[in-house]
Amino acid sequence: MAIVKSSGDLLRLLTFLICLLHRCSAGYDVESVVRTQNLLSANLKLEGGTTEFGPDVKSLDLTASLETDSRLHVRITDADHPRWEVPQDIIPRPTLVSDDVLLGSPGMDNATLPSSATISKVSSDLTFSIHTKPFRFTVSRRSTGDILFDTSATLIFKDRYLEVTTALPAGRASLYGFGEHTKRTFRLQPNDTFTLWNEDLERSDQLDLNLYGSHPGYMDVRPGGNAHGVLLLNSNGMDILYGGSYVTYKVIGGVLDFYFFTGPSPLAVVDQYTQFIGRPAPMPYWSFGFHQCRYGYKNVADLEEVVAGYAKAKIPLEGIWSDIDYMDGGQDFTLDPINFPASRLRPFVDRLHSNGQKYVVIIDPEIKRQATPNEDFFLKRNGTNVVGRVWPGEVYFPDFINPRAVEYWAQKISKFRRTIPVDGLWCDMNEPSNFGAWQPLNALDDPPYHINNSGTHRPLNNQTVPVSTVHYNGVSEYDAHNLFGLFQARATHAALLKDTARRPFVLSRSTFPGAGRYAAHWTGDNSARWDELANSINTMLSFGLFGIPMVGADLCGFRGNTSQELCSRWIQLGAFYPFARAHTERTTE
């Protein structure tokens, strides 16, 4: 009888038993391996297979490379067909080239291959090992022998369903990360599912549901303090199951593109992670002060009264913000001609500036259908512009992958700032949000595996643009959905930098790894409750791990009536938020 010596052995035994019961895929075998000291490539051949969620890809390519002394890259993709990957201009990735030492060759019986092959070097604490029959791989810490990542043999790779599981040492792994979700604790709790699909959730104060950003990475802190990081660089929707002794990824497209960061301290992990995804943008000094906003300021006189009230009470106020109230019918780059005319708003902003204070306004990623230019740079579906419905009514959505849309956006921002010289821009609704759902057009709209969207397996098309939408160069929304907010934040950051020649301030609701290079983040539509105050701390800490340290929650709560005690305590806590803004909705008192 086999002796179970580790959680990895137990996981593989349980996986084998489950496979016997359910006749699951037998996974892949290694057909050939090519290796140097820092680079290993292998061809994987399907053994067995299932028809659930579609046919299996028969041949896979694996590449593992030590890109730096602190970073290991492991990529698995279809050997015969190109697949969607996060674009290089979002997160640039190096290509490693080495002189190859052949350990096997295509067509050679894999029984002649060694049972495993390893890459490591003296200057790195990471070791990668590939195990040949059946295929699995491990990542270990060379200095201690600790296993950091240990996959099961039941790799599943289909066109729109990928699954891989890694064992965790029972009682020794402490995980942090995987977002964006509202959590009761900073440390992740076992037996939880993390769905990653950027969503405008109507009640973001509910726990454990996918929210506005997708960050498929975690930090694991082991006993003694050694920490390492793991990132799955994939923008497709996914469910991640954390069972305490294992992590299972269930992804609906793209490739398995893993990055491992050796640490060994938590600070070193974050440093290595942001070195890869991009360092956080330097923020203007004024953005660290206290800000005031409300959805429901009726006119310029309201803004003047609020600023005067702060001055009378001798409370420092760095800036005041406007929600969509300032717009003409909810349209970007317009002013309500009655309540926020330029003749009143511009002198108010000039007075703010003379007092050393700032003014920030909201913008949404859509253009009213009747106000769109003749240029053709909007999202398409079935050959025509996608018609959504947001605050202005029927709208088109600029395609921020298209350079012409980026140029148009910059021109609109510059022209608007000639009228009202705003100091920053607040990108809301950029998942993107849409008021309604869509009927399926093709197979993308109804993938074979339904992620647990909104906790109810809600269709991907609900309250956003349909995933059968097509971007510039034929990119599908199915693949790029979780990147939309990052693309808009990047375009907005570039536009402000060009127009002001100063550090831009951009606040974005939707995020993805790398968004911190362009924008700050706030946690969306929270509620005026004590548990929301407490839970915000976990979110602040998580976004520090995600490389977006400029983060905050709506002080005192966006929804519902606050109390004097709750609001005062929340503002005290907010003094420790990197981004501190009081913001409430218009029906609150």
- Catalytic center residues: 428, 431, 525
* C-alpha–C-alpha distance, residues 142 and 414, integer Å: 53
Q: Residue 382: count other Cβ atoms within 10 Å of its Cβ.
A: 11
Label the pairing between strands 59-68 and 71-78: antiparallel
CA distances from 134 to 16, 48, 91, 298 (A): 12, 11, 33, 66
* C-alpha–C-alpha distance, residues 154 and 135, integer Å: 8
How many residues are present in the chain?
A: 589
Crossing angle for the helix pair 530-545 and 266-277, to the nearest 10 degrees: 70
Q: Residue 277: CB partners within 8 Å, gap ≥ 6?
A: 91, 231, 513, 514, 516, 517, 547
Pick from 85, 96, 255, 95: nearest CA to 162? 255
Label the pairing between strands 393-396 and 367-368: antiparallel
Label the pairing between strands 238-242 and 246-251: antiparallel
- Determine the 3-state secondary structure of 588 from DSSP: coil
DSSP state of 99: -
* C-alpha–C-alpha distance, residues 527 and 487, integer Å: 28
Residues in a beta bridge with 395: 368, 388
Helices (H), 142-286: 266-277
CA distances from 467 to 25, 121, 403, 428, 515 (A): 28, 43, 21, 20, 21
Pick from 394, 435, 423: nearest CA to 320? 423
Does residue 211 contact residue 467 with C-beta atoms inside 8 Å?
Answer: no
Pick from 311, 366, 377: nearest CA to 333? 366
Q: Residue 312: CB partners within 8 Å, gap ≥ 6?
A: none
How far does the chain reach from its first CA to its final CA, in angstroms? 69
